[in-house]
Chain A
């Protein structure tokens, strides 16, 4: 029964043959019609076109004046270098957690456990990934360059080419860092520390605290059409070296991490296509090994069943948050606060960034409620309406988000360019917190479309609008929560105090939030009523008599 291997068998050749066979077999079996492929390309093209036109109108085409150009040349490399710093930090993070490759689970079990050379086995998927991401980098960078050419001197082609090269370099830096970190089996804390340090140095250089950061040459590369600086070649060389070194170590991978990623990434992609944001959040946490603490930050004693059980349950959950999640909320608060400063200085679209940051933070803030939604059988075993239980989870979410918004306000009111007056920043805390919670509630509790709903009878265009609305409405709510700063800025520009305007706008949003809470409380009843009306309007045909 025991089998024997052929001496000097070409295992790598066998693997290559089989991969080729599977690829051809899949295409033949999938029976993909060329019309389908064209239609998907057409839809992708339309979406990209809309995104580019929207970005183009946001950037505008008023040429930069001379003193602004001096500013760009002086501070631009530092800030633009931050793109490379973030790219490298993301790569380091991914690599230290077994990324960036996400293999098929069966490949991990059968190929990586076979005596096939692992470097050979993993090189093909790694190159495929690199190829795809390089293409994305070139396209995104090229588009960014084209948009920049509207504002700056220099030939459009030069800006597009530089942008494309910059995008490609950023991808190389990120992926190379990821492969190398994975191959060296660098500890997670080392990777996080290095990534954070790079980003911090880039920010410090951008605000003139230090004169140079390691990623500044990348910024110089992106500004080549304005000033051709030899230092800009450095990031390209570093990217090539990182990618080459990373690919040489691709075989030194942890199967444990590879198997974990293989399961989770597949599920994550599926959840993303279904716009199932909650599942995406959960799977992303598992990928990052973000687990609740065994010991809570503050221990709340358990003395019998106690009062306010839902509020206390939520609090206990929050007190077990891992440090990574707390740090993430802090970072999002900094982003929101920084965006508010930008809004105050005159860049209005940054209010969307502030809202988005609070929305993403809100998705963590409503975690206790999300756990309830994840386990409906447990919730439904309680003799209470689901809406009643859901609405009682909101206070904990608001508490978490008030603390997050408070950090954002502190960042916004810190002395320096774009400083938001303390009174206005303080007034913004509550509406921003409520905006984050409101957006997260809308995202969490909106159910996927059901086949039984009347709206499924609507035309595809209406369905598309409905899906788009479902995607856009939650972050839009969070952005509305940050919008009072616009009201305050307007009246301050007119020479009047801003605090009352912010208060009025904030109070208006608080009213909207109360309506959202009512929706949370009553939605089950409304759905039941609607279902009953549909059944009256479209009764099911009764089964014919069998006799």
Chain B
């Protein structure tokens, strides 16, 4: 089994007396594709944000590629695609990608950028301001931003919300290709059908892991019913 890319050791997140994530132990090997499922409020987004370094742990530890989550090495290793796209008001799609690529030391030329923009289906809108796009187009821009920089672990929070069928299919193909290239991918989703594309399904309920292994769509429906 390859070295884990993500290790959560009694990771806990609490807000006052509300425990969003109970002490959680989880190890994701490098190159594994994982579906993270659970009912609303089960802690999926909280876990992904903790791993990305956006939230502070209340207790325990999460390491990414051997470095504590949030440190420079961990940030270099993990790419986070949030459920709420956050974009600059004054940058076009192309400028967004160039900016983020530069922040991560990636040297891309115009063709490389266009290639990535085309994968997410935004080439005709590459010079428009994505902050003024519809929800679905902003989501596509956010996906491109997550892919333009290097990573070993991709954390994706509800990626299919707002995407049309074409966009969803394109994204699934991207995940497959990334997996083939050796990246680990964790996708938090409410789509039961997604588990058929992954080797492992982790289900959360009220901040705790209630299932960790293979699963069918019917299993997912049962696991997420609160």
Q: Cα distance A305–B107 when bound, in Å?
A: 67
Q: Cα distance A255–B103 when bound, in Å?
A: 17
Q: Cα distance A256–B88 when bound, in Å?
A: 19
Q: Which of A2, A6, A25, A255 is within 8 Å of B181, CB to CB? A: A2
A117 to B, closest residue via Cβ: B72
Report B-chain residues with C-beta under 8 Å of the C-beta of A6: 105-107
Q: Cα distance A464–B213 when bound, in Å?
A: 67
- A515: Cβ under 8 A from any B Cβ: no
B120 to chain A, nearest CB (A): 12
Known: A1-B174, A2-B150, A26-B90. A110 touches B145 (CB 8 A): yes
Interface size classification for chain B: 35 or more
Q: Which of B72, B90, B174 is within 8 Å of A115, CB to CB? A: B72
Inter-chain contact B99/A18, CB cutoff 8 Å: yes
B65 to chain A, nearest CB (A): 12
- B218: Cβ under 8 A from any A Cβ: no
Report A-chain residues with C-beta under 8 Å of the C-beta of B123: none
B30 to chain A, nearest CB (A): 12
Inter-chain contact A106/B86, CB cutoff 8 Å: yes
Known: A115-B73, A117-B72, A256-B55. A5 touches B103 (CB 8 A): no
Inter-chain contact B75/A256, CB cutoff 8 Å: no
- A33: Cβ under 8 A from any B Cβ: no
Report B-chain residues with C-beta under 8 Å of the C-beta of A26: 90
Interface residues of B in 168-224 (CB under 8 A from A): 174, 177-178, 181-183
- B14: Cβ under 8 A from any A Cβ: no
- B109: Cβ under 8 A from any A Cβ: no
Inter-chain contact B56/A254, CB cutoff 8 Å: yes
Inter-chain contact B52/A2, CB cutoff 8 Å: no
Report B-chain residues with C-beta under 8 Å of the C-beta of A256: 54-56
Inter-chain contact A14/B102, CB cutoff 8 Å: yes
B143 to chain A, nearest CB (A): 12
Interface residues of A in 102-137 (CB under 8 A from B): 104-106, 108-111, 113-117
- A3: Cβ under 8 A from any B Cβ: yes
- A541: Cβ under 8 A from any B Cβ: no
Q: Which of B52, B90, B99 is within 8 Å of A29, CB to CB? A: B90
Binary per-residue interface labels of chain B (123-145) against chain A in the complex, 1 for a CB within 8 Å, 0 otherwise: 00000000000000000000001
Q: Cα distance A117–B104 when bound, in Å?
A: 11
Report B-chain residues with C-beta under 8 Å of the C-beta of A255: 53-56, 70
Known: A5-B76, A106-B88, A115-B75. A15 touches B150 (CB 8 A): no
Binary per-residue interface labels of chain A (261-297) against chain B in the complex, 1 for a CB within 8 Å, 0 otherwise: 0000000000000000000000000000001001000
Tally inter-chain residue pairs, CB-CB below 8 A: 101
A111 to B, closest residue via Cβ: B103
Q: Cα distance A195–B147 when bound, in Å?
A: 46
Q: Cα distance A115–B86 when bound, in Å?
A: 18
Binary per-residue interface labels of chain B (72-109) against chain A in the complex, 1 for a CB within 8 Å, 0 otherwise: 11011000101000111011000000011111111110
Interface-centre pick from B52, B102, B105, B183 (highest chain A CB count, 10 A) = B105
Interface residues of A in 457-484 (CB under 8 A from B): none
Report B-chain residues with C-beta under 8 Å of the C-beta of A105: 86
B17 to A, closest residue via Cβ: A294
Report B-chain residues with C-beta under 8 Å of the C-beta of A3: 101, 104, 106, 108, 147-150
Query: How many residues of chain A are within 8 Å of chain B by beta carbon?
Result: 35
Known: A113-B80, A115-B73. A106 touches B87 (CB 8 A): yes
Interface residues of B in 46-79 (CB under 8 A from A): 52-56, 70, 72-73, 75-76
Q: Cα distance A259–B107 when bound, in Å?
A: 28
Known: A106-B86, A106-B87, A294-B17. A5 touches B54 (CB 8 A): no
- A22: Cβ under 8 A from any B Cβ: yes
Report B-chain residues with C-beta under 8 Å of the C-beta of A117: 72
Report A-chain residues with C-beta under 8 Å of the C-beta of B178: 1-2
Interface residues of B in 17-66 (CB under 8 A from A): 17, 52-56
B180 to A, closest residue via Cβ: A1
Interface residues of A in 217-236 (CB under 8 A from B): none
Q: Cα distance A291–B15 when bound, in Å?
A: 11
Q: Cα distance A3–B82 when bound, in Å?
A: 20
B50 to A, closest residue via Cβ: A256
B90 to chain A, nearest CB (A): 6
Interface residues of A in 1-36 (CB under 8 A from B): 1-6, 9-11, 14-15, 17-18, 22, 25-26, 29
Inter-chain contact B52/A113, CB cutoff 8 Å: yes
Q: Cα distance A106–B183 when bound, in Å?
A: 25
Report B-chain residues with C-beta under 8 Å of the C-beta of A25: 90
B89 to A, closest residue via Cβ: A106
Q: Cα distance A266–B129 when bound, in Å?
A: 20
Q: Cα distance A4–B77 when bound, in Å?
A: 11
Known: A1-B178, A2-B182, A18-B102. A114 touches B149 (CB 8 A): yes
Q: Which of A14, A106, A113, A294 is within 8 Å of B75, CB to CB? A: A113
Inter-chain contact B103/A114, CB cutoff 8 Å: yes
A185 to chain B, nearest CB (A): 9
Q: Cα distance A109–B142 when bound, in Å?
A: 11
Report A-chain residues with C-beta under 8 Å of the C-beta of B151: 2
A66 to chain B, nearest CB (A): 58
A263 to B, closest residue via Cβ: B86
Q: Which of B56, B87, B88, B103 is within 8 Å of A14, CB to CB? A: B103
Q: Cα distance A14–B100 when bound, in Å?
A: 10
Q: Cα distance A1–B80 when bound, in Å?
A: 16
A259 to chain B, nearest CB (A): 7
B94 to chain A, nearest CB (A): 13
Q: Cα distance A259–B54 when bound, in Å?
A: 8
Listed from nearest, the 6 A-B pairs whose CB atoms lie closest are A9-B105, A14-B102, A5-B105, A115-B76, A114-B103, A109-B86
**Sample of 24 A–B contacts (CB below 8 Å):** A1-B177, A1-B178, A2-B150, A2-B151, A3-B106, A4-B150, A5-B149, A6-B105, A9-B104, A9-B107, A11-B104, A11-B105, A14-B105, A18-B102, A104-B88, A105-B86, A110-B88, A110-B99, A113-B53, A113-B75, A114-B75, A117-B72, A256-B55, A291-B16
Q: Besides the contacts A9-B107, A14-B103, what 5 more A-B pairs have beta carbons closer than 8 Å?
A: A5-B150, A10-B105, A15-B103, A17-B102, A109-B86
